[in-house]
């Protein structure tokens, strides 16, 4: 799978001013801060050089964290296995996950083709901003559980998520042997082992990330465009920009130029863990971008130069 590539220096961990409210201010009186983005070495690359493990941790969440986040946010997946006559069979199923990210499905008598303890896969996709469909596929075994405490927790989580009670006798849990993580349609995937998946934490911004992205694209589209213009060195005419997703370490943009679309990753100056933190980071970065655009201050950081061509 192709991914945005950076050649990094140390990422700044400077404190940001607290400006938790939208809309973004347009006043000329701003709190200034020094932003140091990861350094980049290429301009546009369809096959970026791989990041080191340390660079990956600074710029974007791990594949295991992305998978855990998708499984927390999605509600429906496709369960597939081989049935008695040898044919592969898949059906859609609603699910919740336990504390380790293992999916629990409700399979009633009409799903009798699926036998417990059989090898299975469970595919889940999650649409981001209407333009990217992040996906993960869990390989494991479909099993019944006798853990009454776990069943009670899963039933409570099911009722909170779907607004209805579930019969614990119809709950099946899929173990995790490994996970295939795919960033979008028509892209290759990378494998995550079971230990990495189970030990990962879902992104702390997940429950309001879509709301923030939608608000930025619909209400603050001019700010999204400014963020792209100031923080990204495109070296081509930009027709439009769309924010795709936001997480604790940064955000993804799609940049449109003519008939081409490019993806770019812009990291936050420091990690954020809550809604006020991400709004404060956007406000601060937008303030700085506005001042640079108006020539009130000089650009003192190296722009992101590596973009991945989507189409």
- Whether the predicted model's global pTM rises above the 0.75 cut: yes
> Using alpha carbons only, what angle is made at residue 87 by residues 126 and 98, rounded to the nearest 5 degrees?
35
- Tens digit of pLDDT at every position of the chain (311 positions): 333 333 333 333 333 333 334 444 333 333 333 444 444 333 344 344 555 666 666 789 999 999 999 999 999 999 998 877 778 889 999 999 999 999 999 987 655 666 656 789 999 999 999 899 999 999 999 888 889 999 999 999 999 999 999 999 889 999 999 999 999 988 889 999 999 999 999 999 999 999 999 999 999 999 999 999 999 988 888 999 999 999 999 999 999 998 899 999 999 999 999 999 999 999 999 999 999 999 999 888 888 888 888 88
């Amino acid at each position: 799978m192709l991914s945005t590539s950076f050649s990094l220096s140390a990422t700044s961990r400077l404190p940001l001013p607290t400006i938790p409210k939208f809309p973004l201010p347009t006043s000329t009186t701003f709190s200034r801060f020094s932003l140091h983005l990861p350094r980049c070495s290429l301009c546009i690359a369809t096959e970026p050089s791989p990041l080191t493990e340390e660079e990956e941790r600074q710029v974007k969440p791990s594949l295991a964290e992305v998978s855990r986040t998708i499984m927390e946010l999605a509600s429906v997946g496709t369960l597939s296995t081989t049935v008695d006559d040898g044919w592969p069979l898949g059906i859609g199923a609603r699910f919740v996950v336990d504390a380790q990210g293992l999916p629990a499905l409700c399979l009633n008598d009409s799903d009798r083709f699926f036998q417990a303890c059989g090898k299975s896969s469970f595919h889940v996709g999650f649409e981001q901003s209407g333009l990217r469909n992040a996906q993960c596929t869990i390989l494991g075994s479909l099993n019944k559980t006798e853990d009454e405490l776990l069943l009670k927790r899963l039933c409570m989580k099911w009722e909170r998520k779907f607004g209805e009670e579930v019969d614990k006798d119809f709950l099946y849990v899929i173990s995790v042997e490994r996970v295939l993580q795919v960033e979008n349609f028509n892209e290759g995937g990378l494998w995550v082992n079971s230990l990495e998946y189970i030990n990962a934490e879902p992104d702390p911004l997940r429950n309001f990330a879509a709301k923030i992205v939608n608000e930025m694209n619909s209400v603050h589209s001019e700010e999204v465009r400014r963020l792209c213009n100031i923080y990204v060195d495109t070296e081509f005419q930009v027709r439009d920009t769309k924010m795709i997703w936001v997480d604790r370490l940064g955000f993804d943009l799609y940049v449109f130029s003519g008939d081409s679309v490019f993806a770019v990753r812009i990291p936050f100056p420091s990690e954020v863990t809550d809604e006020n933190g991400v709004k404060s980071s956007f406000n601060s970065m937008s303030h700085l971008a506005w001042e640079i655009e108006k020539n009130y201050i000089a650009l003192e950081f190296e722009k992101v130069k590596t973009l991945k061509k989507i189409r």
